[in-house]
Every structure is written in C-alpha cells, then in structure tokens.
Amino acid sequence: MDLVRRHDWDVTPKEAVALQRDLAAEIVADRPLPLDAVRLVAGVDVSVKNDRSHAAIVVATYPEFRVVETVTALMPTPFPYVPGLLSFREGPVLEEAFGRLEAEPDVFLFDGMGTAHPRRIGIASHMGLWLQRPTIGVGKTRLCGRNAPLDDEKGAHQPLIDKGETIGAVVRTRTGKHPLFISPGHLADIPTSVALVLACAPKFRLPEPIRLAHKAAGAFV
C-alpha cells in the first residue's frame, strides 16, 4: 500500500523527541470510527531479538477474523531501546512491511500506544500519519497516566488520564485478567477504539488481529 513518508529514520534520540513534538500536532484523536463499515482489520506487531527486528501485519475479516493477507519484514534493529521512542525502533521495519501490503484495511490495531504516550504520539499515532488510515494503540502495560479502580468483569473500562487530559482508556478485555491500555492512534477516538478492541477480543485478552500478528512476527524468532 502507498505510504506518506514523513521523515528519515536516521535520527538521534534528541531529534526523535523533537520530531514527535512536531508531528503530535497533526494527530486526529477525536474522530469516531464508522464501526458498521469495518470489513477488514489489520493487526500490527514487531518482535526484536538479537538486534534484528521482525515485523508482521495480518489482515483479517471482521467480525469473523479470517486471515486474508500476512506480510512480514526483517532488518537489523536501527535504534536503541528508549522508553517513549518505540516508533523509531520499529518504524523502519514496519515501513518495509506496509509497503508489501496489498489489502486495504479499514483500521489498524498496533501492539503499542497511540495517544496514551507522554507526548501523545505512540507508534500507532506516528505510523497513522504514514498510513493515513484509522489506527488504534493497544498497549499491554502502562506508559503514562492514571485511572480509577477497574471492575474485574470483561468490558469494564475507566478513562486513562495524564496531566488532566484523557488520553485513552484502561479496558478489561477478559474477566480477571490484566487490562489493556487503549487509545486512538490517528483518525479515531477513544469510545469507538474501545468498542472495536472489545469486539476483536471474543475469547482472549489480546484482540485477535494482534494475536495473529504476534504469532507471525514470532515465527521469525
């Protein structure tokens, strides 16, 4: 698929932070997803081992989750591990993988953050600017923000708040299991992002498209 390439990836951590601050102003995080029009959902994941990055994108039908396309890419990991700068570590290999994609997903679910990020531009937001498609961040651990106590039942959710701003939601996708940290990436909003992630998680903690991508990325390791 075609991408809108915004910058080079060969930057220092200081330059990466400056880029994030500039690009964050372009993120659209208040646009409801037209859920009744969603037909294809992509899961996006990157595995890193021995300084090699393995990206996988799995496109599945919605709501059946029948796989229609899987693309992968492999390259040396170009950027150090720095909290908050994941997109500069994973972006290059994702760019290569997205360039191989033939399907046209209606929405992309990323294993990583969207606006639930100190500078409001996690990997789902950052790559959303390149994709110019709706993206959602699905984080497994908290990066920033606080929330009220969460009920144990599946579907329970609370606003995730940082510095007085609601940046996402903490969502229980399976009863009694650790919650996920859901936030819009780009061209999405919090309520419909939460609704889609819950609909994509009928049996497991992780939404099915991300589970499929995780398995595909891990097959390299």
Amino acid identity of residue 69, one-letter, is E
What percent of the chain is helix, strand and coil (3-state, nearest 5)?
A: 25, 30, 45
Task: Evaluate the omega torsion of the peptide bond into residue 202 and state whether it is cis, within 30 degrees of 0.
Answer: no
| Contact criterion met (CB below 8 Å) for 46 and 81 | no
CB–CB of 23/180 below 8 Å?
no
Contacts of 46 (CB under 8 A, 6+ apart): 53, 54, 55, 56, 90, 93, 94, 111, 217
Q: How far is CA 56 from CA 116, 148, 151, 162, 221, in A?
A: 23, 34, 33, 31, 12
What distance separates the 2 farthest-apart alpha carbons in the chain? 44
- Give residue limits of the domains in the chain: 13-218
Residue positions forming the annotated binding site for Mg(2+): 45, 111
Residue 160 has, within 13 A of its CA and on its CB side, a CA count of 31
pLDDT at residue 217, as a whole number? 84
According to CATH, what is the number of the domain 13-218? 3.30.2170.10
Numbered residues of the known binding site: 45, 111
CB neighbour burial string for 205-214, b if at least 16 within 10 angstroms, e if fewer: ebbbbbbbbb
C-alpha angle 95-15-184 in degrees, rounded to nearest 5: 55
pLDDT in tens, the chain (221 residues): 899 999 999 999 999 999 999 999 999 999 999 999 999 999 999 999 889 999 999 999 999 999 999 999 999 999 999 999 999 999 999 999 999 999 999 999 999 999 999 999 999 999 999 999 999 999 999 999 999 999 999 999 999 999 999 999 999 999 999 999 999 999 999 999 999 999 999 999 999 999 999 999 876 54
What is the amino acid identity at position 31? R
Check residue 5 and give left, alpha or beta (phi > 0: left; psi -120 to 50: alpha).
beta
Task: Report how far apart, in Å, the C-alpha atoms of 180 and of each of 2, 108, 109, 157 are.
Answer: 30, 16, 13, 9
- Cα gap 40→19, rounded to integer Å: 31
